[in-house]
Amino acid sequence: MGQVPQQQTPLILLGGTSGSGKSYLAHQFGRPHLELDNFYRELSEHTPASPLPQTPYGEVDWDHPGTWNCDKAVDGIVELLETGQTHVPNYAISTSSYDGTHTIELNGGPLIAEGIFVSEVLAPLQGLGLVVQAYYIEVSPLLTALRRFIRDVKERRKPILFLLKRGYALLRADRQIRSKYLEAGFIPMKKKTIKRMLATPRT
């Protein structure tokens, strides 16, 4: 994709740990809401010749950016801003695979993109000359861990043992995750403040 010469649609990136409320805010206020987690790589790409990153306990590390396709995510955002629509994979977390695609269209803006690797797209987007607002959602790590576990179990995202291991690892890494976002250029902000900001009519 080339550089976008004139950007009329506000572009907002919402970052935070898994379960922090990114999807809720983006779905409620985005026009459209772009779920970047749909750009995960498929489990079928994990081969002996080209393995995906793995956790210390021998599972594919789906919290590692190497399991996600940053280039395709950036291309999707740029195409959406340039043409008004883009095609996004239908990614099933439970099976770590694609099942077709769906079309996302601009609907007046703002375009709000979110996902656990959203920090990876900020620099490439800014490098293309785009104006990007990037916020990190500040929430309680313990409350987030509880909400994440309840959500993942309810949606049957992965086996229970995997969710427990992942949840503990994410809880321990909370400060590190926050630091990564802030180093990437995200502004830390309480969820209620972000919600109030997004709910304010734009002129």
Contact 113, 77 (CB under 8 A): yes
pTM for this prediction = 0.82
Assigned domain for 56 exists:
yes
Q: State pLDDT tens for residues 17-41.
A: 878 889 999 999 999 999 999 999 9
> How many of the other CB atoms lie within 10 Å of CB of 131?
11
Domain limits for position 37: 11-194
Assigned domain for 1 exists:
no
Q: What is the pLDDT of residue 79?
A: 96
Structure tokens of 199? 């709910």
Assigned domain for 82 exists:
yes
Q: State pLDDT tens for residues 78-88.
A: 999 999 999 99
Assigned domain for 200 exists:
no
Assigned domain for 5 exists:
no
**Number of domains the chain contains:** 1
Residues 6+ apart with CB under 8 A from 90: 38, 98, 99, 100, 101, 102
CATH number for position 18:
3.40.50.300
Rg over CA atoms, the chain: 17
Q: What is the pLDDT of residue 9?
A: 94
Assigned domain for 2 exists:
no
More confident residue, 135 or 17: 135
DSSP string, 52-92: PPB-TTSSB-TTSGGGB-HHHHHHHHHHHHHHSEEEEEEEE
Q: State pLDDT tens for residues 36-77.
A: 999 999 999 999 999 999 988 788 998 899 999 999 999 999
Assigned domain for 203 exists:
no
Q: What is the pLDDT of residue 19?
A: 80
Assigned domain for 83 exists:
yes
| pLDDT, mean of residues 78-102 | 94
Residues 6+ apart with CB under 8 A from 30: 12, 110, 111, 112
